């Protein structure tokens, strides 16, 4: 009998017995990583490794610094879809010819080509993920059918959930490949504009001149008055293309937004890992032990939820603004910790019910009677049931974190300037809403609404996929509420 057909065989044994399908997937993954290795390394090295080094013992901090240095070198490697390969920076001669751009294309065309290829690359990753699931299902799973198959099928037919998945996919790709997606870089255009220069054709001198980026930004400001405005999909006088226009400082808004997406995604995911981890641990503990353990966590949860979360985060951000912790990832680590520490009670209450339900099942009593350790019972028999519900509420919570971070940045708290963050762009454009420079506030605001709606839609899709009766129950509740209101 084949090992694959043996129900007692482990996944490793099944892989060893039939390695070809898995090796095909690994080969494709290796190719995808290789062609964009520099971009992926850049993403990894953009994380707050200084915070990791500070948390390590003294004798390991040197090793962490060495690893970070090696990572910086790897992040500088050219990639297939990088700006150095498909360059959109150049200038136009009086004849109409573009110099310095990829294949002589206009900066707009070169930028759009790079964006299209990067999103196509991200879509290939989605297809590989789906292919990996099919390979596992058809070649390495014991059962021909599992509940997850029905969940996947229901989600594939859930148009609202698929809409949310598409939005989140676009947002994640924007964050992961932010350095390549922007028409310029954060370092050159935002952080250190006077350490970089560009070339342009000057009609006054009739030749090619050079100017600091900072000086060029000063001539490309969007202030809504006196003709000072570079709107969406426009060029400035130095032949630089701005997909979203420019900020009041003259810096490129799309580059600002792409880098801000990476900051928002890091804070959201880090806070969610902290809050979700605490919520799952506490939910399993309260469901298994009940009694005083449940009472203690209920009191702690109620105490935290009794405080206004946003005001607490604002106060804590201000108090910690002068400490070393505020310098880690330009304040991103502080916000992630604060959102995580104040957000776990909501997630815990969301998954506590399912955890209590599964704790009353027969197999949990059987595990206890056989003397199985509580940690093993919770991990093997309770955790898989709870994780699905955690995904639902985590998706909804992540959108709330993004709004919260944007709100704090709008008020000048949280992320330290000049680090890009979406709320800071909305704040910068507030005085120009009713002027030709409306794009500064409106475009970031629209993106915030779309992304948060996408997370909510994805959560709804996951909920209906896990629990097919949830939409029916919701509809019945709505009908009952409507009847009550009419009465």
State pLDDT tens for residues 250-282: 999 999 999 999 999 999 999 999 999 999 999
Mean pLDDT, the chain, rounded, equals 85
**Position 391 confidence tier, pLDDT thresholds 50, 70, 90:** confident
Q: How far apart are the first and last CA of the chain?
A: 68
CATH assignment, 254-480: 1.10.3720.10
Q: Are 410 and 427 in contact (CB under 8 A)?
A: yes
Residue 12 has pLDDT above 90, yes or no: no
State pLDDT tens for residues 41-69: 777 666 665 555 555 555 555 555 565 55
Report residue 374 as tokens.
């509580």
Looking at residue 175, its pLDDT comes to 92
State pLDDT tens for residues 413-446: 878 777 899 999 999 999 999 999 999 999 999 9
Contacts of 415 (CB under 8 A, 6+ apart): 263, 330, 331, 332, 335, 405, 408, 409, 421, 424
Strand duo 234-235 + 207-212: pairing: unpaired
State pLDDT tens for residues 444-477: 999 999 999 999 999 999 989 887 665 444 444 4
The mean pLDDT value for 305-311 works out to 89
Residue 198 has pLDDT above 90, yes or no: yes
- Which stretch of 193-207, 342-356, 407-421 has the lowest confidence by average pLDDT? 407-421
Instruction: Please tell me which of 110-114, 308-312, 398-402 the model is most confident about, judged by mean pLDDT.
Output: 110-114
DSSP codes joined into one string, 37-62: HHHHHHHHHTS-HHHHHHHS-HHHHH
What pTM was estimated for this model as a whole?
Answer: 0.86
Looking at residue 62, its pLDDT comes to 59
Report residue 242 as tokens.
């701005």
Looking at residue 360, its pLDDT comes to 84
Looking at residue 126, its pLDDT comes to 96
Q: Are 38 and 75 in contact (CB under 8 A)?
A: yes
Looking at residue 34, its pLDDT comes to 84
- How far is residue 229's CA from residue 435's CA, in Å, rounded to a whole number? 9
Domain coordinates in residue numbering, the chain = 186-251, 254-480
């Amino acid at each position: 009998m084949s090992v694959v057909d043996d129900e007692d065989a482990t996944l490793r044994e099944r892989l060893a017995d039939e390695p070809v399908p898995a090796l095909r997937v690994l080969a494709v993954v290796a190719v995808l990583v290789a062609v964009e290795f520099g971009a992926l390394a850049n993403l990894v090295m953009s994380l707050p490794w200084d915070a990791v080094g500070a948390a390590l013992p003294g004798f390991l901090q040197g090793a962490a610094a060495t690893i970070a240095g090696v990572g910086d070198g790897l992040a500088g490697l050219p990639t297939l879809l990088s700006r150095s390969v498909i360059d959109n920076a150049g200038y136009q001669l009086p004849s109409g010819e573009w110099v310095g751009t990829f294949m002589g294309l206009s900066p707009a065309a070169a930028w759009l080509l790079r964006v299209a290829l990067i999103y196509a690359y991200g879509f290939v990753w989605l297809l590989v993920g789906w292919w990996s699931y099919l390979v596992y299902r058809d070649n390495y799973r014991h059962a021909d059918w599992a509940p997850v198959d029905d969940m996947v099928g229901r989600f594939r037919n859930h148009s609202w959930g698929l809409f949310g998945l598409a939005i989140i996919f676009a947002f994640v790709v924007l964050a992961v490949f932010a350095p390549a997606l922007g028409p310029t870089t954060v370092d050159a255009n935002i952080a250190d504009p006077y350490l970089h220069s560009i070339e342009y054709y000057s009609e006054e001198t009739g030749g090619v001149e050079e100017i600091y980026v900072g000086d060029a930004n000063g001539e490309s400001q969007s202030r809504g008055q006196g003709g000072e405005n570079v709107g969406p999909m426009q060029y400035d006088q130095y032949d630089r293309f701005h997909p979203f226009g420019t900020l009041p400082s003259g810096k490129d808004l799309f580059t600002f937004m792409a880098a801000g997406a990476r900051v928002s995604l890091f804070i959201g995911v880090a806070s969610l890992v902290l809050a979700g981890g605490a919520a799952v641990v506490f939910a399993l503990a309260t469901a298994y032990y009940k009694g005083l353990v449940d009472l203690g966590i209920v009191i702690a949860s109620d105490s935290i939820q009794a405080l206004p979360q946003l005001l607490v985060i604002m106060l804590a951000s201000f108090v910690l603004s002068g400490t070393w912790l505020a310098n880690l990832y330009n304040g991103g680590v502080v916000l992630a910790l604060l959102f995580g520490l104040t957000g776990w009670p909501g997630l815990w209450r969301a998954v506590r019910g399912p955890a209590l339900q599964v704790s009353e099942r027969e197999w949990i009593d059987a595990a206890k009677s056989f003397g199985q350790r509580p940690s093993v019972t919770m991990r093997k028999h309770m955790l898989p049931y709870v994780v699905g519900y955690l995904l639902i509420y985590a998706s909804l919570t992540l959108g709330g974190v993004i709004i919260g971070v944007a709100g704090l940045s709008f008020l000048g708290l949280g992320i330290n300037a000049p680090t890009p963050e979406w709320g800071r762009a909305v704040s910068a454009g507030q005085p120009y809403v009713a002027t030709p420079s409306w794009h500064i506030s409106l475009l970031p605001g629209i993106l915030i609404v779309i992304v948060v709606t996408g997370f909510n839609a994805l959560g709804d899709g996951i909920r209906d996929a896990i629990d097919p009766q949830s939409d029916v129950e919701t509809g019945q509740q709505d009908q009952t509420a409507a009847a009550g209101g009419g009465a």
